[in-house]
């Protein structure tokens, strides 16, 4: 996606050629083209389709500000210790070993990435910062994503989604993947994907380009 390249200042220094990423906060470097070359053809093909779909909006998708989001009282400011107090011990934890994108240790200015997996929700812990990854809604769990103005869970109706996100909803009606796409910040490369199945949100995916 072609967007203005912002510059962030640190004291007297400036760092150009940074693309804004909402997760967890601040600026993430441009994707290394060498990384893209390593992608399998199928993954690259899907990536290109997704970029084309972003251009296809005609106008920018609706924004659900990442920093306003909480999930069962967890926010981007929460600590790993607080996360475990809220959700209990995770089912598994591991290093996802991202080869490219915002959380590839060898390409980014980060020291550690850990994926924390529960039965219906995944988080990343990036240098101690909580990053939402995937939320799976169903009629049996009590997961809720909240902002100041809205609540999303399994009971959220498509009529409510139309009211909350009119631009993205209109695009969703013709989306071949059945995904309602949002931006977590203005001019983000990252997106928030609402997967809708049988009239319900089945999954919320916090997506970053590779």
Give the domain ranges of the chain.
Answer: 66-207
pLDDT at 202: 96
Q: What is the C-alpha separation between 47 and 36, in angstroms, rounded?
A: 10
pLDDT at 210: 85
**What is the per-residue pLDDT across 59-96, written as a single tens digit (0 to 9) for each?**
789 999 999 999 999 999 999 999 999 999 999 999 99
pLDDT at 44: 44
Mean of pLDDT over the chain: 80
- List Cβ neighbours of 172 (8 Å cut-off, separation of 6 or more): 161, 178, 179, 180, 181, 194, 196
What predicted TM-score, i.e. pTM, was given to this entire model?
A: 0.73
Q: What is the C-alpha separation between 177 and 85, in angstroms, rounded?
A: 36
If one counts every other C-beta atom within 10 angstroms of the C-beta of residue 17, the result is 10
pLDDT at 74: 97
pLDDT at 187: 85
pLDDT at 88: 96
Q: Report whether pLDDT(139) > 70.
A: yes
Q: What does DSSP assign to residue 67? A: G
**What is the per-residue pLDDT across 158-196, written as a single tens digit (0 to 9) for each?**
999 999 999 999 999 998 888 999 999 998 889 999 999
Q: What does DSSP assign to residue 189? A: S
The model's confidence at residue 143, banded by pLDDT at 50, 70 and 90, is very high
Q: Report whether pLDDT(14) > 80.
A: no
**What is the per-residue pLDDT across 29-51, written as a single tens digit (0 to 9) for each?**
333 333 334 444 444 444 444 54
The model's confidence at residue 58, banded by pLDDT at 50, 70 and 90, is low
Alpha-carbon distances of 6 from 187, 190, 196, rounded to whole Å: 10, 15, 33
Q: What is the C-alpha separation between 168 and 9, in angstroms, rounded?
A: 33
């Amino acid at each position: 996606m072609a967007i203005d390249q912002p510059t962030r200042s640190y004291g007297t220094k400036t760092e150009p050629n940074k693309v804004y990423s909402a997760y967890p906060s601040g600026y993430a470097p441009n994707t290394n083209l060498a990384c893209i070359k390593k992608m399998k053809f199928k993954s690259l093909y899907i990536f290109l389709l997704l970029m084309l779909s972003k251009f296809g909006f005609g106008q920018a998708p609706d924004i659900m500000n990442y920093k306003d989001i909480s999930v069962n009282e967890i926010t981007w400011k929460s600590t790993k210790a607080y996360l475990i107090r809220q959700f209990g011990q995770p089912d598994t934890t591991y290093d996802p070993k991202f080869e490219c994108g915002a959380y590839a240790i060898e390409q980014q200015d980060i020291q550690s990435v850990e994926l924390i997996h529960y039965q219906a929700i995944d988080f990343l812990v990036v240098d101690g910062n909580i990053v939402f990854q995937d939320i799976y809604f169903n009629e049996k769990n009590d997961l809720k994503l909240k902002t100041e103005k809205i609540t999303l869970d399994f009971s959220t109706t498509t009529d409510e989604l139309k009211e909350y996100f009119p631009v993205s909803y209109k695009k969703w009606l013709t989306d071949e993947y059945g995904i309602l796409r949002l931006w977590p910040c203005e001019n983000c490369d990252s997106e928030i994907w609402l997967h809708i199945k049988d009239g319900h949100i089945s999954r919320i995916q916090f997506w970053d380009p590779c």
